[in-house]
Structures are given as C-alpha cells and as structure tokens.
Structure 1
Amino acid sequence: MMDWPADKVERKSVSALVNADQTALDFWEFICASVELHGNAYAEVIRAGNGRVIALGVPINPELMAVRRRDDGALEYEWVDQGVRHILGQDRVLHIRGFGGNPLGGLSTLSAGRQSFGLAQAIERASGDTFRNGVRPSGLLKTADTLTIDQRRLAEELLQEKFAGAINAGRPMLLDRGMDWVQLSISPEDAQMLQSRAFLVEEVCRFFGVPPFMVGHTEKTTSWGTGLEQQTLGFQKFTLRRRLKRIEQALEKQLLSVADRLAGITIEFNLEGLLRGDSAARASFYQQMLTNGVMTINEVRRLENLPPVEGGDVPRMQMQNVPITQAGVELPVTPAPGGGN
C-alpha cells in the first residue's frame, strides 16, 4: 500500500498488476522466495522518459545475476537471459537483499542453515532406505522343532489369513508343537532416528522463523484456540513484519524520487488482511478505529470490499465522560473545516 499526502488523496493501493504478464501475487511470491532461498531478489524497473516508475518487470532469476561496483561507486547489474545479455545501472534494477547488509548481496536462509538442512536431508534418506529395504516383522513364531517346508508354508498362510491387518488386532492365537510368539519392537537406534526427524522439523522452522504448526507439526503444541492465535501474532510481529520492512525500505529507497519523499509518500504493506479469517477480531478492530476517529466508515468499507456511502469520509468520535451537569443537554455542533456538517 502506498500512502499519499492528505491534501491529495488520503490513501492509494498499488494496482493488482505489476507488469503485463504477472499479478501482484505472482510477482511478490517469486520475490519473497528469491530472498529466502538465494538471499537476493531482482526485477527490472521500467521508467518513463521523465524518470517516473511505470512498472516492474518480470523478476530475474538470482542465479543469473552478477553484481559489481563501478569506478564511480554506483552498482551495476549484469545477467544473460535466453541468450540476451543485459547490463543496467542501479536506477534500473530493483534489488531486495536478504539479511547480512552487504550492498552487493544478502545471505540466504539456506546458506546460513546449510548444516541443519543437510542433516535433515541425510536423515530423511536414511529413514526411507531403512523402511524400504529393512525387514520389519511385528513378531516371530519360535519353536524348538524343525518345521518341514509344508508346515512352514501352512503356518505363514495361517498368520496372514487370520492375524494380519488392523481388523484382526486382538484376536487370540492358538499355538501347538511348543511354539512361542515373540513380540518385536523398534530398536533404540531407529527410535532415535525418528526423534531426530521430528527435531529437525523444528530446527528448519527455527531458521525461517515459522511456527511449527504452520507446516503441520503440532506434536508439542496446541493447534486450537488461543495458543494458536498467540503463535500467529508472534509470527506476524517477530518474523513477517521484519521481512516486510526490508521490502518496504528497499522500495522506498529505490523507487521513490526526492520529490515523492518531500511530498510525504511512503510505501507499506497492509497487514489487516491477516484478520480476514477472524470475524470477531476484525469487528473489534474496526470498532476501535471508528470510535477513536482513526479510520472513517468508507475506509472500513473499502477494506471489506464494500462500496462507499455518502458522508462516510468524515472521521467521527464518540462523546463520553461528560460532566454530570451536562448529561442530557444537547451540545452545540462545531462546523467541520471547509463548511461541512
């Protein structure tokens, strides 16, 4: 969302189209994935003849990009796409960096946690090989006598027919010829491997700053009620807000002109859409904003995709805590600026 000076337009939203080929969702999804996986995100800035930004090109694959500093101190970007070589200055390329603060490029989350991610992949492959190639019977039939081939085949068929499957769990088993049933359990080594897999899910989430429940891992946490709500708020405050702030500052620095900044134009993401799934919280938020005069009726209706109403652009406040001597007395109405009511 882009904020404009109040004497022009109170608030403007960026168009749903970033360029001719992508919607805003497609564009930002690629940008955010590039920052997390590669540490950098790039897109060509399309400007008019007067230098005004009119569009952002299709994001550039970070693996194709080379960044260097010229003799005059400015940055230069070079990449080859489909056999065509591009060389542009820093005023023609939007560059959003990951954490690290290096002007030539940021660090990716994958590079910072490569050891944990590599260990997770190794354990995943090992567990797959173990359960794919290993022999994992649930128990053994033990007998002191040697069985003939026919007796062995008959015993195996009897086990498969009467005792295999969850529907036959708990069915009593009759044994003769001195046979004993030996129950087998998973080995401590295999159990430790399974625990390591669960731990590495949390480790990967920790690197990305994502609550485990958001990836379906709810072993040690609740997936309902206020616990889930507080984790979502924590994700918004401590992870999502920091990432969005990085993008907002990059856009303001690279896309806004000096005149835009002097005019008070700023760029920010609107996080109110995160309340869309919680009707009660959304209604309470709107009520507070309307009661305190922070938002107008039409601003609330715009967030709810409703058409504006006449007179809905004037902020309103409730009158409370009046002196007891003035209770029930109609107070004079102060004219609004500009002659409005």
Structure 2
Amino acid sequence: MFPFKTREAKASGVPFVALSQLGTARWTRDKISLAREGMVNNAIGYRCVRLIAEAAAGVRWKASEGGEDALALLDNPNPEQSGIELMEAFYGHLQTNGNAYLHGVVLDDGAQPQLPRQIYTLRPDRVTPIIGAHGWPLGWNYKVDRMGKRFMREADGWSPVLHFKLFHPLHDHDGLAPLEAAGKAVDVHNAGAAWAKALIDNSARPSGALVYGKGGDRMTPEQFSRLKQELEELHTGASNAGRPMLLEGGLDWKPMSLTPADMDFIAARHDAAREIALAFGVPPMMLGIPGDNTYSNYKEANMAFWRLTVLPLVEKAGRSLSNWLSVRSQGRIELRPDLESITALTSERDALWARLENASYISDDEKRELAGLPPVTKRGEV
C-alpha cells in the first residue's frame, strides 16, 4: 500500500496534496544506551537511582558471632573507597544494569582459606560470564579497552567475583534492571524535553508551510530567494521569538504539526515520569511529580519507600554477601541490616515499644526478642 494519503481542498479552490505518514517509534534498547539516556540525561531516572543507592548503602550491617572480620571488611573495603561508596556503586549498577559485581582480592599465602583482603566493584558492562558444560558460570571475563582479566572459580567452589542480579524471566545469567523496564517511559520523557527545546529554538512556533497563490500562480526565483532569506534571518532562532511576520502577495500560513495543547504535552511528560518512578519503586511524591495522591503525606511515602523498595533489596544483598564470604570463613557468617540505625523507621519502633510495654502476658526476655534485642537472662539460668 502506498504510504501517503492525498486529499483535495474544495472549499478554498486551492488544490494541494497533504502528505501523511506515521513512522515507527524508535526505542533505546542496549543497556549502555539506557544508562546514558535513563540516568545521565534524565533527571527522574537519576534521582531514582540516587535515592535507592544512597538509602541502601547507608544501612549498617550487623553480623552473627564470629563475623567481626566481615563487618570490618565491608566498612573499609579498599584504599580507594569507603564501605558506603562501595555499596552505593553496587546498588547503583543494580538499578541501571540489573547486575552488580564485587571482586574479592585474596592473598594466596598457602595457608587455610581466608576472607578477601579487599573488595572492589566491577562495571557490569565490562563483565561477561564463562559458561560451563552444565550451563552455570565457571568464571568471569573482565575487559577494559584492550586489556582483559579472567576470574575463575576455585577448587573449593569459591568465586572471587560475587554476581548479584535482579530476576529476569527470559535470561539465565543476566538481570533485568528497573531502568530497562522503564525504557519506553524514559524515551518519551527525553523526547518531550528535546521537542520543547527545539520548539523554543524555533521561536516557540510549530513547523508549517507558506501557501502562495489562489489560482496556481508560482513565485519568481527572485521572490522565492528573498522570502527564504527573510525567514532565515528574521524569523528563526530564540532571539527572534515573538517577531511578527508580514505576509503579502497572497501568502498564507498553514501549520503542519500538532500544538502542545493537541498533544497534551505536559501531562504526557508527567505520566512518563510517574511510570519511571513506578519501575524503580520510588513514590512520585518524593520526586515532586504533581498529580499523585497515593500517599496522604511525605512521611507516609517515605515509609513505603523504605519498606517496599530499600529494605527488601538490602536484605537480599546481605544474604548474598553472607553466602559469598562464608565459603572463605571458619564459620557461618550471617549479615543482616541493622534496622535500629535507620532513622526513617523511628516511628515504627516507637509504636512497637509502646505495644511491648503494655503487653503484660509475656516476659521481659520475650519482649526483648520481639524488639530485636538480646535477652538479659542467659539460657540455662533461673
């Protein structure tokens, strides 16, 4: 089918051909471009990643008995980064790529297996798995420019690289990032910003056409050149915004694109921003997006953000770190988030303590256990 439609305007008596073709939408696909468009060039995506990464990295860890060395390692992982900086990069990669990698540096001194001496983050776009015969990774290739490094799983089953990923229903070794799920909304939001900037640069006027003559008359070459020069010099660019255009000789202006009102431009950008926030699990109220009344106030939205987004992520990361470090430890290491250190949960703790204080049917040690505190009376004592 021929893609153009033609129609004739009989009311004015001026024959013309209207060309109409809606092209295929272009979406950002690969993860490197998504990270660039969704975080580097998009304020909503940038703020969502920063909110989650900074909040999750600021949660302190508590360990089971014998896990003091693991806590010290996570607090001071390497000479270049603090523990918060390391985990902020870890959670940030997870939100933008769906995968996060930690490299543990181990000194091979011939002694018994020991905990890593240092931990570093690896950029996910530079890491590729080495798949074995059974479909599981045997190691990892890390490539920077033309230089590469291979990290293979050791004989005791320990891998020097911890791979933490988000669930992906269609891939065995790759995670699905929130930014990838919000890719179309990111493209719509960025395209709206680019369209608004282009409109401002074009004197805040939509594109159109100058129609000349009522009876099929044509301009002379001199008239055409003069008109084109005047349009370029006097009516193009932001500096010429608002300059009136004087039409003569039967010229008429015909708009050829939709206006912002026709496209509901501002509402479309807000909808795209809300969809980006939804993919990340950040309440739109925390981003200043208008039109969202899901939560009655900011405090309630912040509580939902911590309970539904940050804490499940930190809990999963703690379990992965526990399994990874326990292979190189003398005993089992259990890392859990220290909920007492989270100021956003203060109101919940106050309510819990008030309920426990009024519960007369349980002992003090049972109350302390429910509050997450060790018992005062040791086991076996009367």
**What is the TM-score with the length of structure 2 in the denominator?**
0.55
Rate the CA distance shift 1:213–1:114 in 2: closer, same or farther, 3 A. Answer: same
- Aligned: 1:38 with 2:110: no
5 Å-filtered alignment, 1:213-228, equals 213-221=285-293, 227-228=297-298
Q: Distance in 2 between matches of 1:3 and 1:89?
A: 28
Rate the CA distance shift 1:190–1:95 in 2: closer, same or farther, 3 A. Answer: same
Does the CA contact (< 8 Å) of 2:326 and 2:332 recur in 1? no
Q: Report the counterpart of residue 59 of structure 1 in structure 2.
A: 121
Q: Which of 256, 270, 280 is 1:208 aligned to?
A: 280
Greater shift in the superposed pair: 127-136 or 247-256:
127-136
Q: Distance in 2 between matches of 1:279 and 1:235?
A: 14
- Bigger Rg, structure 1 or 2: 1
Rate the CA distance shift 1:4–1:196 in 2: closer, same or farther, 3 A. Answer: same
- Measure how far apart 1:86 and its partner are: 0.9
Q: Report the counterpart of residue 107 of structure 1 in structure 2.
A: 176
Give the number of equivalent residue pairs. 251
- Measure how far apart 1:218 and its partner are: 4.2
Secondary structure of the residue aligned to 1:268 is strand
Secondary structure of the residue aligned to 1:54 is coil
Does the CA contact (< 8 Å) of 1:34 and 1:62 recur in 2? yes
Between the two structures, name the one with larger relative contact order (CA 8 Å, sep ≥ 6): 2
Amino acid at match of 1:60: L
- Measure how far apart 1:29 and its partner are: 0.8
Q: Report the counterpart of residue 228 of structure 2 in structure 1.
A: none
Does the CA contact (< 8 Å) of 2:273 and 2:289 recur in 1? yes
Q: Report the counterpart of residue 293 of structure 1 in structure 2.
A: 368
Does the CA contact (< 8 Å) of 1:40 and 1:95 recur in 2? yes
Q: Report the counterpart of residue 343 of structure 2 in structure 1.
A: 275
Does the CA contact (< 8 Å) of 1:19 and 1:57 recur in 2? yes
Secondary structure of the residue aligned to 2:277 is helix
Q: Distance in 1 between matches of 2:128 and 2:67?
A: 40
Rate the CA distance shift 1:10–1:256 in 2: closer, same or farther, 3 A. Answer: closer
Secondary structure of the residue aligned to 2:129 is strand
**What is the TM-score with the length of structure 1 in the denominator?**
0.61
- Aligned: 1:130 with 2:191: no
5 Å-filtered alignment, 1:163-202, equals 189=261, 192-202=264-274
Deviation track 1:247-288 (CA, whole Å, cap 9, x = no partner) reads 12321232222976xx55312222333325x76655555666
Q: Report the counterpart of residue 256 of structure 1 in structure 2.
A: 326
Q: Distance in 2 between matches of 1:219 and 1:43?
A: 40
Identity of aligned residues (%): 17
- Extract unaligned runs of 5+ from structure 1: 137-186, 301-312, 317-335
Q: Distance in 2 between matches of 1:242 and 1:284?
A: 21
- Measure how far apart 1:88 and its partner are: 0.6
Q: Report the counterpart of residue 333 of structure 1 in structure 2.
A: none
- Measure how far apart 1:11 and its partner are: 12
- Measure how far apart 1:82 and its partner are: 6.4
CA RMSD of aligned residues (A): 3.7
Q: Which of 129, 135, 142 is 1:79 aligned to?
A: 142
